[in-house]
Amino acid sequence: MPFHRFYCSPNLFTKEEKQAIAKAITSFYHFLPPFLVIVNFIDVDKDNFYVGGEPNDRYIRINVMQSVKPVPGRAWVEAWEKTIEPFTKAKGIDYELQMGNDDVSTYS
């Protein structure tokens, strides 16, 4: 189950953009039932988000946890980045991607 967390400033994306991002990411996992793909947007005020020691409200920290082993390689990351590019690079928004494996293999 892929779980995406976007740590970003509260007004970086509109409600419609957030939904479009969630739909794009869900479509990226076309081989999974849609209900298994989770996307959360976590608001971090500019006063609490620093990059290089300076406040930054145009930066996203993206954490992706998946029940996939091993962690997908560079080709997967590049394809994933193309999925979110219209919402990030195309808008002048920088991000950092952190990926890991979720060892939990049970669902409820």
> Sorting pLDDT into bands at 50, 70 and 90, what band is 78?
very high
Residue 92 has pLDDT above 70, yes or no: yes
Show me where the domains of the chain are located.
3-101
Query: ∠ at Cα 57 (56, 58), nearest 5°?
Result: 95
Question: How far is the C-alpha of 23 from the C-alpha of 27, rounded, in Å?
Answer: 6
> What is the CATH T-level fold of the domain 3-101, as seen in this structure?
Macrophage Migration Inhibitory Factor (3.30.429)
Mean pLDDT of 27-51: 93
Instruction: Report if pTM > 0.85.
Output: yes
Which pLDDT does position 68 carry in this prediction?
A: 64
> Tell me, what's the pLDDT at 104?
54
Which pLDDT score is estimated for 106? Answer: 47
Encoded tokens for 64: 């992706």
Q: What is the mean pLDDT of residues 62-91?
A: 87
Tokens 């300076």 found at: 54
Instruction: Please report the pLDDT score of residue 73 as a whole number.
Output: 80
Backbone φ, ψ for residue 48 (5° rounding): -115, 5
**Residue 70 preceded by cis peptide, ω within 30:** yes
